[in-house]
Copies of this chain bind each other. A is one copy, B any other.
Amino acid sequence: MRTLVDGQPGTVVPVDDRAFLYGESLFETVAFRDRQAPLWSRHMARLDLGCRSLGFQPPRPEQLLAECRKVLPESGPAIARITITGGSGGRGYWPAPDAPERRVIQCRDWPGEIDRQRSAGLRLTISKSRLESGPVGEGLKHGNRLVQVMAARECARSGHDEAVLLDQAGSIVEAISSNILLVVDDQLMTHPRPVVSGVGLGWLIDQPGLDLRLRPVAGEDLARCSEVLVINSVSGVRPAIAIEQYRFRPGPTCRHLQSLWNEQLI
């Protein structure tokens, strides 16, 4: 059994599900190792905030955790994707007032390329799609992800591992599935208003003694960066070795953050 729908084994949802129709959903992609998820409470905090923003009844974390463990392997690394949707019903965009949310838990295999990328690094392109701060859901992990999908399609076509997403002002906001950290003149920086408030980034920000400045960095300032790193809750910290014409090496910041990650989260 790899998938639960509202707690029951199943692999399908009704075509009137509001995630299917309108992307009315929230999700969390949670890394587990031996059925333990070190960042669980951070995922649950973001999901709870999202539910309150979208008018969903927040699910009970202990129920979600029990359901994740039903679909996960007994040991080793694996991923649980938790999806909460607006359920069924309503009239067009108008949600049904009291429709119960739908809850889908999917087990996914651990991506084989992560370990290699943590040491060998990633090659990135700069996406033609520019981000805008959304009118709803800023920071939330909701199911309206066409920008990321289109950027991923473009990035796969050009043979890159990931893509940098800029905002309208040309600042580096994040990557398709990760936040971005940049070392400029020995200062570690990241964008202050990511489109997705990454759980991995949140963990990093809370590390005592870490001097991380929340400030936009322009795309053209990549020439001044000594290191560029991407971070997400599943893959941890991975170095960028190329972004378009710019070249980087995994350096001391990468090694430091990777050992912090390994000590606390693996």
- A contacts, CB < 8 Å to B: 3, 5, 10-25, 27, 29, 54-55, 83, 85-86, 91-95, 97, 104, 106, 111, 129-137, 142-153, 155-156, 176-177
Contacts and interface: CB of A to CB of B under 8 A. Distances in A.
Given A12-B12, A132-B133, 16 more contacts: A3-B15, A11-B15, A19-B20, A20-B85, A21-B27, A22-B23, A22-B144, A22-B148, A55-B153, A93-B177, A94-B155, A95-B152, A129-B135, A132-B134, A136-B147, A144-B145
Contacts of A12: 12-15
A156 B94 contact: yes
B93 A152 contact: yes
Q: How many copies does the complex hold?
A: 2
- Chain A binding site: helix, strand, loop or mixed by DSSP? mixed
Contacts of A177: 92-93
Nearest to A142: B146
Contacts of A22: 23, 143-146, 148-149
Contacts of A155: 94
